[in-house]
Structure 1
């Protein structure tokens, strides 16, 4: 049996991360679960939280705002509309991003698609900010 499992974390527009890992922790809707090489096939909804990918001695963390995890014995595919690599993130930058979205929101046409997208972005970045506060 192989001692690593391929991990792919993607958003509709891009692949955020791809590497061989020793283990992955995923925030499922029923709680965090671990995935090791050889895991049984599984499809799970992902809750808001942190996906931890263990690459030997290194751990990579990604904030995810819901999604789907497809798991096979050799691969983990995580798909979400909102994924942020937590390395190098700071609260000040996130607060600035939220403020910029709020400014754009105030200037956008009410009940437009742009308004809905900006509202959605503000909600997701506020969730990231709340997560980082823990």
Structure 2
């Protein structure tokens, strides 16, 4: 199988830069896969799991939003957040969800409530991704 260059970047760091066989991504319009020589393509990503396949190994990384850019040079993903699934702790996520639910209930302004609801939705996305992985 032909390989291609894949880079996953978050605001904090370059998460992954390697040659891969296939990458499956959570697009806002549906999941999609990228193989070598894919047509140029740009997509917005929703929160979910990016599955990176190299040989017989698959690496799963949770992303929270971002963009995927497929070009002749390969695939670049710019993610708002990128965390390897192996590093996610279900108990910690559950505690953060409880805290976020309290923040929504305690919000004093519409803006504060909106921010708290967005954070809660993102945490629930993480929890859903963990259950699916």
**Scaled by the length of structure 1, what TM-score is found?**
0.76
TM-aligned CA distance change 1:47 to 1:100, over 3 Å: closer
Instruction: Confirm or deny: 8 A CA contact 1:5 1:73 kept in the other structure.
Output: no
- Give me the whole-angstrom Cα distance separating, in 2, the residues matched to 1:33 and 1:101: 31
Counterpart of 1:91? 90
Where does residue 37 of structure 1 map in the other structure?
A: 36
Pairwise CA distance, 1:110: 5.7
Residues 1:102 and 1:47: Cα distance change in structure 2 (over 3 Å) = closer
* Structure-1 separation of matches of 2:15 and 2:97: 21
TM-score, normalised to structure 2, is 0.77
CA RMSD of aligned residues (A): 2.8
Residues 42-95 of structure 1: per-residue CA shift (max 9 Å, x gap): 111112221110011110111222211001133111112122211242311222
Aligned residue for 1:50, secondary structure, equals: strand
What runs of 5+ residues in structure 2 fail to find an aligned partner? none
Once the two structures are overlaid, the 10-residue window that deviates more, 71-80 or 94-103, is 94-103
- Between the aligned partners of 1:15 and 1:122, the Cα distance in structure 2 is 26
Q: Aligned equivalents of 2:73 and 2:2: distance in 1?
A: 10
1:79 corresponds to:
78
Matching residue of 1:65:
64
For 2:7 and 2:126, the matched residues in 1 are separated by 21
Shift of 1:41: 1.2
For structure 1, which runs of at least 5 residues remain unmatched after alignment?
none
- Match of residue 133 from structure 1: 131
